[in-house]
Structure 1
Amino acid sequence: MDVRPLSLWHDQLPVRPARPALRGRVEADVAVVGAGFTGLWTAYHLQRADPSLRIALVEAGVAGFGASGRNGGWCSALYPVGIARLAAEVGRPAALAQYAAMREAVAGVVSVAATEGIDADVAVGGTVVVARSAAQLARARAEATEAAEFGLDVDLLDADAARARLAATDVVGGTYTPHCAVLQPAKLVRGLADLVTGRGAQLFERSRVTGIEPGRLATADGEVRAGVVVRATEGYTPLLPGLRRAVVPVYSLVVATAPLPPAVWERIGLRERETFSDHRHLIVYGQRTADDRLVFGGRGAPYHLGSSIRPGYDREPAVFAALERTLVELFPVLAGVPITHRWGGPLGITRDWHPSVGLDRATGLAWAGGYVGDGVSTAALAGQTLADLVTGADSPRTTLPWVGHRSPSWEPEPLRWLGANAGLRAMTWADAAERRGDRPSRLAALVDRALGR
């Protein structure tokens, strides 16, 4: 399976033959559906906790085929549920513990890559989010104020300080947090896959799981029998029987420039390889790669009826064109710079925006996901937590508020399609309105409430 067309990240790796597919019956202690970050981190931490465990990972494509090999390369402490909302739901101490665990997860990924010798182009530069209008600046101030109330590390930047990190157009301020690393995700995925298989885990590729039940997972050509079965399928979860409404697969698309010369980077910034965004409603994100490309992505692709997932959805020419226009709007120096790679893929969003991780001890079925696009570090925390739950470790991770959380199902179709795409269109309108005026959009606030954010 040639995965090079899937993303810049895969294209930068040497071609490697896929591992054997699952054939016949395999016995294991733990079976994992999916060999992305969640599945691989689960296997990694299980092996550290108990090297004798028999672990089998079953992947429909190859390791890192999904979002783990196609994301924007942010390893951040971002959590989809804001700290104030989370505190209102679960209490201040529990919310603070969840956010502290996210910061520790970032440090943990960086540490494992270093100690295990995985060269994933890691740099810890933090995240700068610029404000480019009065409404965006109001959101930046509100975020910094809320963070200060909870003792989180989010600094409010004035225009000069924000431009010193990211010299985008029209910058009037921004925020900065140090809790983010940038990395090459496909290198990290491949390194983790090599580690866990080298330590005895079985990894079956090109083997789509068609069913999960207590003690068993099945493919068209085989099955794994195991005491614990872990679902680590994120945006591809709706493809499994009975889970069509568990998450909506929302597509995020990305472009990458050719390597840029030092003179161009002097005009853009990102000297510490900070990840970056701005305070608009329709999310955009970017990073400076180790080989001096600018990788830039964002939402904007439509949700497809019935939670449909198809390879053709990975590439939406209109969305790529919009991303490229936005990139030049932010950085006029990039006008005419070649775009060498365009790609995309689905991520998973739950109805209440909560990610979760858990193990049903009565059935032996475990799960993790719903990362809402912030999965690089969240998946690492999920894998470590799943290992604690499976082995019965006495760990503070197992008492975090996301453990055992159950999100409600999304609405049936066509309500799901209507709501998701109306929300997308509303956020686009809200950003346009805020560019014309000074006040934050009321429409965006209404959409946020309707979607449960």
Structure 2
Amino acid sequence: MTADPAAAHPSLADAAPEVLWLDDPDRPAALDPLPVGPTRAELVVVGGGYTGLWTALRAKERRPETDVLLLEAGECGWQASGRNGGFAAASLTHGFHNGVERWPDELAELDRLGAENLAEIGRTVSRYDIDCRFERTGGLDVATEPHQVHELAETAAAMLAAGHDVVLLDRAAVRAEVDSPTYLAGLLDPHGVALVEPARLAWGLRRACLDLGVRIHEQTLVTGLLDDGRTLEVDTDRGAVRADRVVLATNAFPPLLRRLRLMTVPVYDHVLATEPLTPAQLAALGWEGRQGIGDSANLFHYYRLTRDHRIVWGGYDAVYHYGSRIAPPLEQNRRTHALLARHFFETFPQLEGLRFTHRWGGVIDTCTRFAAFFGTAFDGRVAYAMGYTGLGVAATRFGADVVLDLLDGAETERTRLRMVRERPLPFPPEPVRALGITLTRWSLERADRNAGRRNLWLRTLDGLGLGFDS
């Protein structure tokens, strides 16, 4: 008899409903809200996640004299930027395959810019002494079903032909890297991924911004954006801010521009963290390279080691709530956390008896092309970047430079990219949106169980350039 998927797994009995990365004694105190009353700034950045923090930092690095004000409704890094798995990928296109499908003619340039961007993140971490455990571990994609072995081989051949330094591993070789009986093959990318502690990266960027003179006010909700014909007015629950230019970095949360309301949908990603592994448990895994790992299913898992030898394990069951609902109670999902725990021990049966100490979830934004998109409004005085679809740890720095280029009206190698100039197709309104997402997720799960064969619905979406992923 199949176990009830909603039944709690015994390994979760003591798991705190908290984010591991935020449950940190070094978490900085919240900054003061915006003083009540009118104020002014040259550049206002709305949102204190990676997009907003990188934008504020890069604005000051480019022009130190710029008066930059960053406004955050909660605390910097308290949402997706502090909850994620910490995979800083060089890819700007949500993986090589998505880049080939959408921008084949400029993929070489995108790959070069992505590699440079990741290297600059490492230099920034060093320059500002950000203690976020930036590790150039590389990434490992694993095949857990026979059809995925062939798919990895095709990907490896294409990436090698495009100049990527990747290694295709057979079953014995991948299990020598990390030992799981579910692994049938692997694709090792030794240079394309770094790991970070995500909340600490956000806190470090916040401190760097403050040191450079950025004014940051947390606990300040932005409620509207108006143009009076002379300056922009950013309305908050503390008063109005006059600004020459504005960057919107709200991502999964409702946008301030009506035109963007159908461009993304919020989905909930869920994650577990184990107790620290013993030396014997680590030895049973191998994993000496500490690579970030993802499996090759449509509904995929991602996982990595922490500095104190825990395993952070997430993904698979991306959850959309009707009406694009976002609410704190949705961050805990008994069914999904139980599924993740079961999948964990199927992958690593040698760790049976290990306990999870933290369980959490959080909202990310996804768009129909899976990679970030950019644009301007109000005659080029407002710029935005959104739609990172869970792969924004590194790509948000690139996005920050894009929006600053757009505000400057500058033609650069970034703004000339089709990826930057094009927009994804919007999602339909409700109820069609929820029906489409539900059908798509069901079809993806069915394809995973059916040797990767995509049904008519998925093939139609492929032809339209639409999609939804875990």
TM-score (norm 2): 0.88
Does residue 1:12 correspond to 2:24, yes or no?
yes
Please tell me whether the aligned partners of residues 137 and 194 of structure 2 are also in contact (alpha carbons under 8 angstroms).
Answer: yes
Please tell me whether the aligned partners of residues 301 and 319 of structure 1 are also in contact (alpha carbons under 8 angstroms).
Answer: no
Distance 1:88 1:125, change over 3 A: closer
Once the two structures are TM-superposed, the CA of residue 85 in structure 1 deviates from its matched residue by 5.9
Distance 1:401 1:307, change over 3 A: same
Does residue 1:386 correspond to 2:403, yes or no?
yes
Does residue 1:278 correspond to 2:295, yes or no?
yes
> What pairs with 1:329-408 in structure 2 (closer than 5 Å)?
329-360=346-377, 362-391=379-408, 395-408=412-425
Aligned residues: 444
Determine the structure 2 residue equivalent to 1:36: 49
Q: Distance in 1 between matches of 2:423 and 2:37?
A: 34
Q: Considering only aligned residues, what root-mean-square deviation do their CA atoms show, in Å?
A: 2.3
Amino acid across the alignment from 1:20? D
Q: Distance in 2 between matches of 1:388 and 1:28?
A: 19
- For residues 425-451 of structure 1, what are the alpha-carbon distances to aligned partners after superposition, in whole Å with 9 as ceiling and x for unaligned? 2222222334xxxxx323395375266
Please tell me whether the aligned partners of residues 327 and 334 of structure 1 are also in contact (alpha carbons under 8 angstroms).
Answer: no
> What pairs with 1:79-90 in structure 2 (closer than 5 Å)?
79-80=92-93, 83=96, 86=99, 89-90=102-103
Once the two structures are TM-superposed, the CA of residue 70 in structure 1 deviates from its matched residue by 0.4
Q: Distance in 1 between matches of 2:95 and 2:135?
A: 26
Q: Distance in 1 between matches of 2:44 and 2:236?
A: 13
Quick one: which of 218, 243, 262 aligns to 1:245? 262
Q: Distance in 1 between matches of 2:18 and 2:242?
A: 32
Does residue 1:259 correspond to 2:276, yes or no?
yes
Determine the structure 1 residue equivalent to 2:244: 227
Distance 1:130 1:18, change over 3 A: same
Q: Distance in 2 between matches of 1:10 and 1:390?
A: 33
SS at match of 2:420: coil
Q: Distance in 2 between matches of 1:281 and 1:239?
A: 32
Determine the structure 1 residue equivalent to 2:61: 48
TM-score (norm 1): 0.92
Structure 1 residue runs without a partner (length 5+): 435-439
Q: Distance in 2 between matches of 1:91 and 1:426?
A: 27
Once the two structures are TM-superposed, the CA of residue 269 in structure 1 deviates from its matched residue by 2.5
Determine the structure 2 residue equivalent to 1:191: 204
Which stretch shifts more, 136-145 or 349-358? Answer: 349-358
Once the two structures are TM-superposed, the CA of residue 112 in structure 1 deviates from its matched residue by 0.9
Distance 1:399 1:269, change over 3 A: farther
Amino acid across the alignment from 1:452? L
Amino acid across the alignment from 1:167? D
Does residue 1:310 correspond to 2:327, yes or no?
yes
Determine the structure 2 residue equivalent to 1:432: 449
Q: Distance in 1 between matches of 2:388 and 2:103?
A: 19
Determine the structure 1 residue equivalent to 2:3: none
Determine the structure 2 residue equivalent to 1:326: 343
Quick one: which of 53, 58, 62 aligns to 2:71? 58
Distance 1:170 1:363, change over 3 A: closer
- For residues 103-153 of structure 1, what are the alpha-carbon distances to aligned partners after superposition, in whole Å with 9 as ceiling and x for unaligned? 222222122111210010121110111112211112211211222332233
Determine the structure 2 residue equivalent to 1:132: 144
SS at match of 1:11: coil
Determine the structure 1 residue equivalent to 2:133: 121
- For residues 353-392 of structure 1, what are the alpha-carbon distances to aligned partners after superposition, in whole Å with 9 as ceiling and x for unaligned? 3411344572401001211110000101111333344346
Q: Distance in 2 between matches of 1:361 and 1:398?
A: 18
Share of identical aligned residues, percent? 33
Determine the structure 1 residue equivalent to 2:226: 213
Once the two structures are TM-superposed, the CA of residue 198 in structure 1 deviates from its matched residue by 2.0
Once the two structures are TM-superposed, the CA of residue 280 in structure 1 deviates from its matched residue by 1.1
Q: Distance in 2 between matches of 1:207 and 1:192?
A: 19
Please tell me whether the aligned partners of residues 273 and 313 of structure 2 are also in contact (alpha carbons under 8 angstroms).
Answer: yes
Distance 1:60 1:180, change over 3 A: same
Please tell me whether the aligned partners of residues 56 and 202 of structure 1 are also in contact (alpha carbons under 8 angstroms).
Answer: yes
Please tell me whether the aligned partners of residues 440 and 458 of structure 2 are also in contact (alpha carbons under 8 angstroms).
Answer: no
Amino acid across the alignment from 1:370? G
Once the two structures are TM-superposed, the CA of residue 64 in structure 1 deviates from its matched residue by 0.5
Q: Distance in 2 between matches of 1:66 and 1:292?
A: 24
Once the two structures are TM-superposed, the CA of residue 78 in structure 1 deviates from its matched residue by 3.3
> What pairs with 1:144-159 in structure 2 (closer than 5 Å)?
144-159=156-171
Distance 1:102 1:233, change over 3 A: same
Please tell me whether the aligned partners of residues 238 and 245 of structure 1 are also in contact (alpha carbons under 8 angstroms).
Answer: no
Quick one: which of 103, 108, 117 aligns to 2:120? 108
Which one has a larger percent helix, Structure 1 or Structure 2? 1
Quick one: which of 64, 81, 96 aligns to 2:108? 96
Once the two structures are TM-superposed, the CA of residue 222 in structure 1 deviates from its matched residue by 1.6
Amino acid across the alignment from 2:253? Y
Q: Distance in 1 between matches of 2:353 and 2:254?
A: 39
Amino acid across the alignment from 2:310? R
Amino acid across the alignment from 2:262? R
Q: Distance in 1 between matches of 2:131 and 2:42?
A: 30
Structure 2 residue runs without a partner (length 5+): 1-15
Once the two structures are TM-superposed, the CA of residue 241 in structure 1 deviates from its matched residue by 5.1
Determine the structure 1 residue equivalent to 2:80: 67
SS at match of 1:122: coil
Please tell me whether the aligned partners of residues 182 and 273 of structure 1 are also in contact (alpha carbons under 8 angstroms).
Answer: no
Please tell me whether the aligned partners of residues 140 and 187 of structure 2 are also in contact (alpha carbons under 8 angstroms).
Answer: yes
Determine the structure 2 residue equivalent to 1:141: 153
- For residues 163-206 of structure 1, what are the alpha-carbon distances to aligned partners after superposition, in whole Å with 9 as ceiling and x for unaligned? 12221123221111121111101111001101111221111111
Which stretch shifts more, 405-414 or 40-49? Answer: 405-414
Once the two structures are TM-superposed, the CA of residue 87 in structure 1 deviates from its matched residue by 5.2
Once the two structures are TM-superposed, the CA of residue 422 in structure 1 deviates from its matched residue by 1.7
Q: Distance in 1 between matches of 2:396 and 2:149?
A: 31
SS at match of 1:373: coil
Determine the structure 2 residue equivalent to 1:437: none
